[in-house]
Amino acid sequence: MSIDISTLEKGTEIGSREVALSRADLIRYAAASGDHNPIHWNERFAREVGLDGVIAHGMLTMGLTVDLVSEWAGDPAAVVDYQARFTRPVPVPDAEDGAPDAPTVTLTVSGRVGAVDVEAGTVRADLTVTLGETKVLAKSQAVVRL
C-alpha cells in the first residue's frame, strides 16, 4: 500500500488494534531480548521490590505499539524515529485457566497523524496506548518517511 502524503492531514486515523499479552509472551520476549529481569517473570520478586506483580517489559510494550505504524506505512524501515514515555506499568497476571499461553491482559493501541511535513516527506504518528482506561505510554510518537 502506498500512501500519498499530500492527502494526509493532522488528525487522520492510521488505525487501532488490541494486543493481548500472556506470561508466556514475556518469557519469549526475555529470551529474544536478553532482558531476564525477574520483575518480568517472578511474582514473588516483583512484589518484593514494590510492584503489584509481574509486569511487561517496557520495550515490548513500545515494540507492540510501533508495529501499528509499521503496518500502516507498509515498511518497518519507513519508521525513522520513535519515542515514548512510560507512565504506568503493564501488569500481566498468571493465566486463570492454567494454560501458559492464555492472554491475560489486553492493550489498546490507536494512532493518528500528528503532523505532516510534505517537503521532508515525513509524517509524525501520535499513538495512544491504554490498559483499560489507563494510559501506559505518553508522548508515544513515531516519525515515518513516506
Q: Radius of gyration of the chain from Cα atoms?
A: 17
* Domain-embedded: residue 37: no
Contact between 123 and 146 under an 8 Å Cβ cutoff? The reply is yes
What would the pLDDT profile of 20-76 be if each residue is shown by its tens digit? 999 999 999 999 999 999 999 999 999 999 999 999 999 999 999 999 999 999 999
Q: What CATH number does the domain containing 78 carry?
A: 3.10.129.10
pLDDT tens-digit series, residues 114-135: 999 999 999 999 999 999 999 9
- Does residue 29 sit within a domain? no
What 3-state class would DSSP assign to 41?
coil
Cβ(35)–Cβ(29) under 8 Å? yes
Number of domains forming the structure of the chain: 1
Helices (H), the chain: 23-33, 43-48, 58-73
Residue 87 scores a pLDDT above 80: yes
Q: What is the pLDDT, as a whole number, of residue 2? A: 82
What is the domain extent for residue 119? 5-21+56-145
Supply angle C-alpha 58, 63, 68, rounded to 5: 135
The pLDDT assigned to 106 comes to 96
**AA letter at 89:** P
pLDDT of residue 101: 67
Query: What is the rounded CA–CA span in Å between residue 83 and residue 79?
Result: 11
To the nearest whole percent, how much of the chain has pLDDT over 90? Answer: 91
Evaluate whether residue 34 is within a structural domain: no
Residue 37: what are its φ and ψ, rounded to 5°? -55, 130
Find how far residue 95's CA is from the centre of its chain: 21
Assigned domain for 106 exists: yes
Using N-to-C axis directions, what is the helix angle for 23-33 and 58-73, rounded to 10°? 90
Residue 36 lies in a domain: no
pLDDT at 98: 63
User: What gap in Å lies between CA 101 and CA 103, rounded to an integer?
Assistant: 6
pLDDT for res 100: 63
C-alpha cell of residue 28: 519469549
